[in-house]
Protein backbone atom coordinates (compact mmCIF):
# COMPACT_ATOMS: atom_id res chain seq x y z
CA UNK A 1 0.00 0.00 0.00
CA UNK A 2 1.33 3.42 -0.99
CA UNK A 3 1.12 6.12 1.67
CA UNK A 4 -0.26 9.56 0.74
CA UNK A 5 2.38 12.07 -0.34
CA UNK A 6 1.72 14.47 2.59
CA UNK A 7 2.20 11.63 5.06
CA UNK A 8 5.41 10.58 3.33
CA UNK A 9 6.64 14.17 3.60
CA UNK A 10 5.83 14.16 7.31
CA UNK A 11 7.67 10.89 7.91
CA UNK A 12 10.68 12.15 5.97
CA UNK A 13 10.78 15.34 8.04
CA UNK A 14 10.55 13.31 11.25
CA UNK A 15 13.43 11.05 10.15
CA UNK A 16 15.72 13.95 9.23
CA UNK A 17 15.04 15.86 12.44
CA UNK A 18 15.33 12.65 14.45
CA UNK A 19 18.90 12.30 13.22
CA UNK A 20 19.69 15.80 14.51
CA UNK A 21 18.13 14.94 17.87
CA UNK A 22 19.99 11.63 17.91
CA UNK A 23 23.33 13.31 17.29
CA UNK A 24 22.75 15.68 20.19
CA UNK A 25 21.63 12.91 22.55
CA UNK A 26 24.46 10.60 21.54
CA UNK A 27 27.04 13.33 22.04
CA UNK A 28 25.69 14.19 25.49
CA UNK A 29 25.47 10.53 26.44
CA UNK A 30 29.04 9.86 25.40
CA UNK A 31 30.25 12.96 27.24
CA UNK A 32 28.39 11.90 30.39
CA UNK A 33 29.89 8.41 30.24
CA UNK A 34 33.46 9.63 29.82
CA UNK A 35 33.61 12.79 31.95
CA UNK A 36 34.32 12.52 35.70
CA UNK A 37 31.26 12.71 37.93
CA UNK A 38 32.22 16.17 39.18
CA UNK A 39 32.93 17.67 35.74
CA UNK A 40 29.78 19.83 35.94
CA UNK A 41 31.42 21.76 38.78
CA UNK A 42 33.95 23.19 36.26
CA UNK A 43 31.85 25.14 33.73
CA UNK A 44 34.92 26.58 32.00
CA UNK A 45 35.56 23.18 30.45
CA UNK A 46 32.10 23.17 28.88
CA UNK A 47 32.60 26.72 27.62
CA UNK A 48 35.98 25.91 26.05
CA UNK A 49 34.68 22.68 24.49
CA UNK A 50 31.52 24.27 23.05
CA UNK A 51 33.40 27.32 21.74
CA UNK A 52 35.99 25.04 20.16
CA UNK A 53 33.23 22.93 18.61
CA UNK A 54 31.49 25.94 17.10
CA UNK A 55 34.74 27.16 15.55
CA UNK A 56 35.65 23.71 14.25
CA UNK A 57 32.14 23.31 12.88
CA UNK A 58 32.51 26.61 11.02
CA UNK A 59 35.79 25.29 9.62
CA UNK A 60 34.03 22.14 8.40
CA UNK A 61 31.46 24.26 6.61
CA UNK A 62 34.24 26.32 5.04
CA UNK A 63 35.86 23.08 3.85
CA UNK A 64 32.83 21.54 2.13
CA UNK A 65 33.27 21.30 -1.65
CA UNK A 66 29.71 22.57 -2.15
CA UNK A 67 29.99 25.78 -0.12
CA UNK A 68 28.38 27.76 -2.96
CA UNK A 69 25.22 25.70 -2.51
CA UNK A 70 24.49 27.55 0.74
CA UNK A 71 23.84 30.80 -1.12
CA UNK A 72 20.13 31.76 -1.12
CA UNK A 73 20.23 32.00 -4.90
CA UNK A 74 21.21 28.31 -5.04
CA UNK A 75 18.90 27.16 -2.22
CA UNK A 76 15.80 28.65 -3.85
CA UNK A 77 16.77 28.03 -7.47
CA UNK A 78 14.48 25.89 -9.58
CA UNK A 79 17.36 23.44 -10.02
CA UNK A 80 18.50 23.71 -6.40
CA UNK A 81 21.00 21.01 -5.36
CA UNK A 82 19.00 20.69 -2.14
CA UNK A 83 15.95 19.31 -3.93
CA UNK A 84 16.38 15.73 -2.82
CA UNK A 85 14.43 13.31 -0.69
CA UNK A 86 15.26 12.56 2.94
CA UNK A 87 17.18 9.39 2.13
CA UNK A 88 19.44 11.18 -0.32
CA UNK A 89 19.96 14.03 2.12
CA UNK A 90 21.00 11.71 4.95
CA UNK A 91 23.30 9.70 2.68
CA UNK A 92 25.08 12.82 1.45
CA UNK A 93 25.09 15.15 4.43
CA UNK A 94 24.52 13.29 7.71
CA UNK A 95 28.28 13.28 8.33
CA UNK A 96 31.20 15.13 6.72
CA UNK A 97 32.42 13.25 3.66
CA UNK A 98 35.99 12.50 2.61
CA UNK A 99 36.58 15.67 0.56
CA UNK A 100 35.28 17.78 3.44
CA UNK A 101 37.58 16.11 5.96
CA UNK A 102 40.57 16.47 3.64
CA UNK A 103 39.71 20.11 3.11
CA UNK A 104 39.44 20.63 6.87
CA UNK A 105 42.84 18.99 7.40
CA UNK A 106 44.32 21.35 4.81
CA UNK A 107 42.82 24.33 6.62
CA UNK A 108 44.55 23.28 9.84
CA UNK A 109 47.96 23.29 8.20
CA UNK A 110 50.30 26.11 9.34
CA UNK A 111 50.56 29.03 6.95
CA UNK A 112 46.94 28.94 5.78
CA UNK A 113 45.43 32.38 6.41
CA UNK A 114 41.90 31.95 5.05
CA UNK A 115 38.95 32.68 7.32
CA UNK A 116 38.09 29.00 7.57
CA UNK A 117 41.67 28.18 8.52
CA UNK A 118 41.78 30.87 11.20
CA UNK A 119 38.49 29.63 12.70
CA UNK A 120 39.68 26.04 12.66
CA UNK A 121 43.04 26.86 14.20
CA UNK A 122 41.35 28.89 16.94
CA UNK A 123 38.99 25.98 17.57
CA UNK A 124 41.88 23.51 17.79
CA UNK A 125 43.71 25.78 20.24
CA UNK A 126 40.62 26.10 22.45
CA UNK A 127 40.03 22.34 22.40
CA UNK A 128 43.63 21.67 23.39
CA UNK A 129 43.45 24.39 26.06
CA UNK A 130 40.37 22.72 27.51
CA UNK A 131 42.10 19.33 27.53
CA UNK A 132 45.19 20.76 29.21
CA UNK A 133 43.03 22.53 31.79
CA UNK A 134 41.29 19.24 32.53
CA UNK A 135 44.64 17.51 33.01
CA UNK A 136 45.59 20.17 35.55
CA UNK A 137 42.35 19.97 37.56
CA UNK A 138 42.14 16.22 38.15
CA UNK A 139 44.52 13.51 39.22
CA UNK A 140 44.96 9.93 38.08
CA UNK A 141 42.53 8.31 35.66
CA UNK A 142 39.84 11.05 36.00
CA UNK A 143 42.22 13.59 34.47
CA UNK A 144 42.47 11.50 31.31
CA UNK A 145 38.71 11.03 31.22
CA UNK A 146 38.14 14.78 31.65
CA UNK A 147 40.56 15.66 28.84
CA UNK A 148 38.98 13.13 26.48
CA UNK A 149 35.50 14.39 27.42
CA UNK A 150 36.45 17.94 26.45
CA UNK A 151 37.70 16.78 23.05
CA UNK A 152 34.60 14.63 22.53
CA UNK A 153 32.25 17.50 23.33
CA UNK A 154 34.13 19.78 20.92
CA UNK A 155 33.98 17.13 18.19
CA UNK A 156 30.29 16.40 18.63
CA UNK A 157 29.48 20.12 18.64
CA UNK A 158 31.31 20.53 15.33
CA UNK A 159 29.45 17.58 13.78
CA UNK A 160 26.08 18.87 14.98
CA UNK A 161 26.77 22.35 13.58
CA UNK A 162 27.78 20.81 10.25
CA UNK A 163 24.57 18.79 10.12
CA UNK A 164 22.38 21.68 11.30
CA UNK A 165 23.64 23.98 8.53
CA UNK A 166 22.87 21.36 5.89
CA UNK A 167 19.51 20.63 7.50
CA UNK A 168 18.53 24.31 7.35
CA UNK A 169 19.45 24.54 3.67
CA UNK A 170 17.59 21.34 2.84
CA UNK A 171 14.60 22.34 4.95
CA UNK A 172 14.33 25.67 3.16
CA UNK A 173 13.58 23.82 -0.08
CA UNK A 174 11.08 21.49 1.59
CA UNK A 175 8.85 24.14 3.16
CA UNK A 176 5.38 22.71 3.53
CA UNK A 177 2.69 22.26 6.13
CA UNK A 178 4.18 19.12 7.63
CA UNK A 179 7.59 20.65 8.17
CA UNK A 180 6.07 23.69 9.84
CA UNK A 181 3.91 21.42 12.00
CA UNK A 182 6.92 19.38 13.09
CA UNK A 183 8.91 22.51 13.93
CA UNK A 184 5.97 23.83 15.97
CA UNK A 185 5.72 20.59 17.94
CA UNK A 186 9.47 20.57 18.63
CA UNK A 187 9.40 24.21 19.70
CA UNK A 188 6.50 23.65 22.08
CA UNK A 189 8.21 20.60 23.54
CA UNK A 190 11.41 22.61 24.07
CA UNK A 191 9.51 25.43 25.78
CA UNK A 192 7.73 22.96 28.05
CA UNK A 193 10.96 21.29 29.09
CA UNK A 194 12.65 24.63 29.81
CA UNK A 195 9.66 25.81 31.85
CA UNK A 196 9.53 22.52 33.80
CA UNK A 197 13.29 22.71 34.51
CA UNK A 198 12.92 26.26 35.81
CA UNK A 199 10.39 25.05 38.40
* Residue 41 DSSP one-character state: G
Q: Which pLDDT does position 198 carry in this prediction?
A: 46
pLDDT of residue 8: 66
Which pLDDT score, from 0 to 100, does residue 87 have? 84
DSSP code of 85? -
Indicate the angle between helix axes 141-172 and 86-93, nearest 10 degrees. Answer: 140
What confidence score (pLDDT) does residue 151 get? 96
Q: What is the pLDDT of residue 10?
A: 65
Which residues, 6 or more positions from 71, have their beta carbon under 8 angstroms from its beta carbon? none
CA distance 28 to 51: 16
Q: What pLDDT does 39 receive?
A: 87
**What per-residue confidence (pLDDT) applies to 76?**
83
Digits of tens for pLDDT over the chain (199 positions)? 565 655 666 677 778 888 888 898 999 899 989 999 888 888 888 999 999 999 999 999 999 999 999 998 898 888 899 988 888 888 899 999 999 999 999 999 988 889 999 999 999 999 999 999 999 999 999 999 999 999 999 999 999 999 999 988 888 887 655 566 666 676 677 666 655 544 4
Q: Tell me, what's the pLDDT at 2?
A: 60
Question: Are 75 and 169 contacting, i.e. CB atoms less than 8 angstroms apart?
Answer: yes
Quickly list H helices, the chain.
Answer: 5-34, 43-63, 72-75, 86-93, 98-107, 115-137, 141-172, 177-198
Amino acid sequence: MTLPAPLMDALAAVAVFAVAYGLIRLGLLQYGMVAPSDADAVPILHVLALAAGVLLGAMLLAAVPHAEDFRPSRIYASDSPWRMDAGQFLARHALPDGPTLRGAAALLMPGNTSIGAILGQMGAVLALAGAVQALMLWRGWPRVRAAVAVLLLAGWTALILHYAAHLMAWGATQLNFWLFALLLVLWQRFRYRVRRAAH
